[in-house]
Each structure stands twice: as structure tokens, then as C-alpha cells.
Amino acid sequence: QVQLQESGPGLVKPSETLSLTCAVSGYSISSGYYWGWIRQPPGKGLEWIGSIYHSGSTYYNPSLKSRVTISVDTSKNQFSLKLSSVTAADTAVYYCARHGTALHRYYFDYWGQGTLVTVSS
């Protein structure tokens, strides 16, 4: 069974960098699939942030691209998110999830439980 687990600080100060890691178990990241980040502000909808393949190939949401870096560590079977220059608008539950590699398979079939990150001084 594929399992994803987010971890990282729950509180980040404005203007600093948000850093999260997603540990994957039950499946080797190197075997395929894209691994992505999605966020959900409190009481609001879902926003895709970006995705990475085990080779390091990435896709980012243009709305966040200038501030986002997603990286992968296949040796630890995990991938990470960095979001710089955060503001209160970046307060959200951050999810990691998996999606397929072909155009018709870019839906998210496995999700982490999510982690709330609050941006506040």
C-alpha cells in the first residue's frame, strides 16, 4: 500500500522560506509516477503547486513558480517543497500526492494526510 507522509514546521514567519518533506513508503519513487504538492487554505479549495519526476523533471504552477522549488531524494524515497518569501496568504494545509506520467493519467491517486502550515510572526 502506497503511503505518503508530510513533515515540516507548522509555523513559518513572514518573508521566510517554507520547507516541507514528503516521505513515501510502499512504493519506490524511482519506479515512476510524478510526485506533487497541493495546498488548501483554511475553508477554501485546492491549488496544485507543482510536481516532480524521479529524474528531477519538474512542472510548477505559474502563479507560484518564482517562489517554488521541488526536489527529490531517491535514496531516501522522499521529495521536498520549498516556498520562499511567504506571506499570510500562504497559510494552508499542504498535501503531497502521486499522479501518473502520461497526459491522461495526471490525476492524484494517493495523498498524504496533509500538514497545516501557518505563516505568522
Partner 1 sequence: EIVMTQSPATLSVSPGERATLSCRASQSVSSNLAWYQQKPGQAPRLLIYGASTRATGIPARFSGSGSGTEFTLTISSLQSEDFAVYYCQQYNNWPLTFGQGTKVEIK
Does 47 contact partner 1 by CB under 8 A? yes
Does 53 contact partner 1 by CB under 8 A? no
Tell the smallest beta-carbon distance from residue 98 to partner 1 (Å): 10
Stretch that binds partner 1, among 17-25, 68-76, 77-85, 104-112 (CB under 8 A): 104-112
SS3 for 69-81, per residue? EEEEECCCCEEEE
Does 90 contact partner 1 by CB under 8 A? no
Of 63, 71, 101, 118, which lies in the binding site for partner 1, with binding defined by CB under 8 A? 63
Does 89 contact partner 1 by CB under 8 A? no
Contact predicate 35/29, CB 8 Å: yes
List the beta strands (DSSP E) in 18-75: 18-25, 34-40, 47-52, 58-60, 68-73
User: Which of 44, 36, 53 is closest to 92 using CA atoms?
Assistant: 44
